[in-house]
Amino acid sequence: MSMVEFAEQGAESPDIGFALASAIVPTDPARALIEAIGEPGPVGWQRFTASFAITVVAAVGAVSYFDAEERHTSIDASAAMLEAARGLREQSVGAERGPWWRVTVTAEADGGYEVDYDHGDEPFPPEHLFTPEAYLFDLHTYPRSRVPVWLSAYVFHNTWQLRSARAAADAAERPPVPAPDEFPALGVFFTRWAAIAAAFVAVGSEYGPRILPALGVFEGAGRSGSTLHVLPGRRAVLSGGVWNAPELDAAYNDGTPYPDLYAGAPAWVTDQVLNPRASTGLLSFCYWWEGGSWYRGQSPGAAAVSSAVPGVWTVADVAEVMCAVAYPDAARPPRAAMLDLIAAAEAGTVTRELVEKCFADPSHDVAGAFAELSMAGPISM
């Protein structure tokens, strides 16, 4: 049967759907949903994968049916499927964590199946993310003792972390917290950031730090990240967020005061130089460099935000990260070459030859690594 024939038969009700239903334990709460999905499946389907997102005021879902040759056809969930998904969700209302928000169902034609419930431990994909109001209604209907930090911020942040130029100018003057030893000096910080970025670019990683003109960007695989904006006049702003930061969890779930991340900040620390997390209520730290030193407001210390910042504290740290990224399985990576490159980066004398010695594997993107380092400052051609 061709893929076209398989898709065109999607409106038929195959006998195999009844076989699947009869194999399910009668008391299984997922039975109605699996039957509702399997019943209208195309003739010859062998398995399906379905996912749904539900709140008290919104619902969306999609199903993909696969045949024996792994050809598939996908459809939006029908009204009957969404109703069955709502019924399944209602049965979880009394659970300790409250009703789930997303569910994924995988079922085989012979009766085997898996059901995975999602309570929001990680952010929902865009196609399953409703408006904040949809979750607000849901939380009002089904109150919970704790809500995931990201979802709390999405629903309740109310732009409290934004700092317009007017708000910054009108902010009450107060002394900041000096943090001279929490991060390297600005120039060293930026060039080490670039060195680590070069390693990630060399191996084609989608994660890790990046360098743009006067801007360092870092997004870790664990959803923490930061930005380093370098400004004229030897100024800079380092800000970002730690995934599930305890300070934000306490503020959103326990009612503790929001930390004043900008306490003592100068008027030029504004939205334009803050990490995008500020617009979603997920900023958990903010530092600024002025007069040759780092300062902060009520941000936690550097140790608490290390997962959101590249490992730039010492030359040894930078070399270790670069070796681990570029040569994850090597017994003896070119550590000496990495150290030479870091020293050259800090001195503004990076050459392509140095970059080639560090990233010598044929798969390494030497040009990309060299470009990252060039964004951080002067280099030797």
Q: How far apart (Å, rounded) are the C-alpha atoms in residues 372 and 358?
A: 14
> Do 235 and 94 have their domain in common?
no
- Name which of 72, 12, 81, 21 is nearest 53 in CA terms: 81
> Do 88 and 174 have their domain in common?
no
Task: Evaluate if residue 16 carries a pLDDT over 80.
Answer: no
- By DSSP bridging, strand 177-178 and strand 113-118 are unpaired
Question: Concatenated DSSP letters for 124-163?
Answer: PPGGG---HHHHHHHHHHS--S---HHHHHHHH-TTTT--
Domain count, the chain: 2
Q: Is 84 domain-assigned?
A: yes
How crowded is residue 139: how many other Cβ atoms within 10 Å of its Cβ? Answer: 18
Domain endpoint, select from 99, 117, 145: 145
> Do 218 and 255 have their domain in common?
yes
> Do 364 and 310 have their domain in common?
yes
> Do 323 and 270 have their domain in common?
yes
CA distances 45 to 39, 89, 107, 218, Å, are 11, 26, 11, 44
pLDDT at 221: 86
Q: How far apart (Å, rounded) are the C-alpha atoms in residues 297 and 264?
A: 6
Q: Is 380 domain-assigned?
A: no
Over residues 68-87, mean pLDDT: 95
Question: Concatenated DSSP letters for 92-127?
Answer: TTTSTT-S-SEEEEEEETTS-EEEEEE-SSSPPPGG
Q: Which domain holds residue 139?
A: 3-145
Q: Is 283 domain-assigned?
A: yes
pLDDT for 224-273, tens place per residue? 999 999 999 999 999 999 999 999 999 999 999 999 999 999 999 999 99
Token code pair at residue 125: 């994909």
> Do 97 and 205 have their domain in common?
no
pLDDT at 274: 98
Over residues 103-126, mean pLDDT: 94
Domain endpoint, select from 114, 145, 176: 145
pLDDT at 83: 96
Q: Is 215 domain-assigned?
A: yes
Task: Evaluate if residue 7 carries a pLDDT over 50.
Answer: no
- DSSP assigned state of 84: H
> Do 317 and 201 have their domain in common?
yes
> Do 268 and 336 have their domain in common?
yes
> Do 112 and 237 have their domain in common?
no
Q: Please, what's the b/e burial string for 262-275 (b: 16 or more CB within 10 A of its CB; e: otherwise)? A: bbbbeebbbbebbb
Cβ-contact 131, 226 below 8 angstroms = no
Over residues 26-36, mean pLDDT: 80
pLDDT for 142-163, tens place per residue? 999 899 999 999 999 888 999 9
Q: Which strands sit side by side in the sheet containing 47-54, from one edge to the other?
A: 72-76, 59-66, 47-54, 102-108, 113-118
pTM: 0.84
Q: What is the CATH classification number for the domain harbouring 41?
A: 3.30.500
Task: Evaluate if residue 379 carries a pLDDT over 80.
Answer: no
Q: Is 381 domain-assigned?
A: no
Q: Is 150 domain-assigned?
A: no
Domain endpoint, select from 145, 178, 204: 145
Q: How far apart (Å, rounded) are the C-alpha atoms in residues 234 and 351?
A: 25
Q: Is 267 domain-assigned?
A: yes
Q: Average model confidence (pLDDT) for the chain?
A: 90
Q: How far apart (Å, rounded) are the C-alpha atoms in residues 96 and 144?
A: 9
SS3 23: coil
Phi, psi of 125 (to 5 degrees): -65, 155
> Do 126 and 217 have their domain in common?
no
pLDDT at 24: 40
Task: Evaluate if residue 378 carries a pLDDT over 70.
Answer: no
> Do 357 and 214 have their domain in common?
yes
> Do 259 and 353 have their domain in common?
yes
Q: Is 67 domain-assigned?
A: yes
pLDDT > 70 fraction of the chain, expressed in percent and rounded: 92
How crowded is residue 290: how many other Cβ atoms within 10 Å of its Cβ? Answer: 19
